[in-house]
Amino acid sequence: MRQWFRVLVAGVVVTSTGCSGDAEPGPARPLELFRSGSRLQVRWLSAEGGYRQPLEQVDLVTGQPCHWRRFTSEGALYCLPDAQVFFESRVGYFADNTCTRPVAYFLEEQRPATALRMQATSCEQGWRLRYLGQRVMGATFRKTSPEGPCVSEPLPSWAAYAYEVGEPVPEWTFVRGEARQAAREAGLAVQVIEGEDGSSALLDIEDDARSTSCTFALASDSSVRCLPSGVSVSEGAFGYFADERCAERAAASTCTSLRFIRDTTIDHCGTTTSIHEVGEVLESVYEFARDGACHDVRSGTSEVPGFAYRRGEESPASSWVGAAVVHGDARGQLTESLLSVAPSLTLPWKPVDTRWGVECEFLLAGDAQLRCIPAASYLAVQHFADPGCTQRLAIAYPDECFSQPFALERRSDPGGAPRLLHHVYSLGERHLGSVYALQPDDMGALRCQVTSRFLSTYFLLGPELEPSSLVSAELITE
């Protein structure tokens, strides 16, 4: 479920005791950024009590969600649907025995007017779209090398539907937009995109001092700050290293020159992000082999995509624009939590359930309804407090960082639908005794036996919260 403000102010949980930035709290009313037009309409998550979150824009002509991207033909911004990438190549499957009519194939039947995103290379930035052509029902042909023969060969067994690649999709098929600055305060510029149909949506937040896009996250100083994001930022190349001892992690970029490296640290107190400048380009990159030895793999080869970099100096967290978390208007059982960057710049953040006193997120609850599920620090597990394996437990990290009074369990939908349902439990007392689990004996039968403690902090699992006690919501487009 796409949520604009979770893309741009993304992913961090701020507790009620809270970590705030170095900005003064502003008025508790967010900047209005979203508006429906004659063709592009906003899909909202609408909760009881009047709370609303914008999720995405829907194109009424195509019937699909769309997102603002640049068309290669002129570089202008258009609201384009998601599309599967199709690499233009002289190899692959074709509909003719001269291997000139390329074929795209799928597991499922595609809807009419489906478009493919054409790319000559994986680094092509602009968007070029082609319609799917007629369905291929007869023989297919294949070339495995540009100069190789064109031979008859069936599609992979899983490819139930195949189509020829059709005509280009002209840019005027979609709504064009123009970017404009909606606000500029405290070192940040907020950009919106205004569609030619009268629609409007949040496009980007930019750090003025560094001319880079940024998203809000919990920085290394435990403050909410707008940290760099986008194509000039690497999240790091996990598994690759800059030294022959495999001690210094490397960063990588497939297509573009890097400016910053984001390092995310997850520990028992949560997730924080630090920012490093980009260091030198590495000629050699290292990784651990299966035998545990550290060996050299060449940057730029098929094993390491693009370019690898050494980490430079860490940018002080205080050098990035901070925001204070403030309370907004009450909407029934929910209150809006907002980010106040400056007195005149306040952005949406997260909902807070005032009945339970915690932040919450809209997910499918145990009754398969969309509800605001309380943030839970603990997970319900199949460990038990008694030799009969009847009293379930919840686990948490062995620290005082977590104080939420709930445990969360995700279960598959018993109705068979491919989705997870979220069950919320209250916590009982801390459990200091033995831990039990159902384990197979020598005959394969499950028996309740003592097991090792997965983590040192266990709590008794209390009653499940009634789903009806959680705020419900529905999706509306208007």
User: 99 and 152 share a domain?
Assistant: yes
Nearest to 207 by CA among 313, 321, 316, 319: 321
Instruction: Tell me the two tokens of residue 81.
Output: 């649907």
Position 270 in a domain: no
Domains of the chain: total: 3
Domain span including residue 15: 1-67+180-209+324-354
Q: Is residue 267 part of a domain?
A: no
What pLDDT is stored for residue 6 in this prediction? 38
What's the pTM? Answer: 0.80
Mean pLDDT of 214-219: 91
Q: Residue 93 to residues 89, 119, 442: CA-CA distances in angstroms?
A: 10, 16, 52
What pLDDT was estimated at residue 270?
63
Instruction: Report which secondary-structure segment, H or E, holds 350.
Output: strand 345-353
Q: How far apart are CA 63 and CA 279, in angstroms?
A: 46
Checking if the pLDDT of 46 tops 80, the result is yes
Looking at the predicted structure, is the pLDDT value of residue 11 above 70?
A: no
Confidence (pLDDT) at 305: 54
164/188 same-domain check? no
- pLDDT of 12 higher than 80: no
The answer to whether 117 and 72 are in contact (CB under 8 A) is no
Dump pLDDT digits (tens) for 420-467: 999 999 988 889 899 999 999 888 889 999 988 766 688 899 999 999
pLDDT for position 388? 94
CB neighbours of 292 closer than 8 A, spacing ≥ 6?
A: none
Residue 38 maps to a domain: yes
Distance, in Å, from the CA atom of 374 to the CA atom of 143, rounded to the nearest integer, reads 54
The reply to whether 312 falls in a domain is no
If we measure between CA atoms, which residue out of 311, 249, 261 comes closest to residue 286?
249
Helices (H), 178-221: none
- Same domain (yes/no): 87, 133: yes
When pLDDT is cut at 50, 70 and 90, the band that residue 9 belongs to is very low
Query: Of 153, 173, 193, which residue sits at a domain end?
Result: 173
CA distance to 79, 89, 172, per residue, from 76 (Å): 10, 26, 11
So what's the pLDDT on residue 385? 93
For residues 198 and 61, state if they share a domain. yes
Quick one: 60 and 153 in the same domain?
no
Q: Are residues 140 and 153 in the same domain?
A: yes
pLDDT in tens, 92-120: 999 999 999 999 999 999 987 889 999 88
Residue 53 covered by a domain: yes
Question: What are the structure tokens assigned to 10, written together?
Answer: 């993304």
State whether 155 and 24 are in the same domain.
no
Clarify whether residues 369 and 416 are in a common domain.
yes
Ranked by mean pLDDT, which of 57-61, 309-313, 379-383 comes out on top?
Answer: 57-61
Using the structure block, give the residue that is written with the tokens 């893309």. Answer: 7
Are 45 and 60 in the same domain? yes
- Is 42 within the bounds of a domain? yes
Same domain for 366 and 470?
yes
Is 278 within the bounds of a domain?
no
Residues 129 and 146 reside in one and the same domain: yes
Residues 53 and 78 in one domain: no
CA separation (Å) from 41 to 3, 197, 234, 335?
14, 10, 33, 25
260 lies in some domain: no
Antiparallel, parallel or unpaired: β 334-342 and 212-218: unpaired
User: How far apart are the C-alpha atoms of 349 and 334, rounded to whole Å?
Assistant: 13
pLDDT (average), residues 250-265: 80
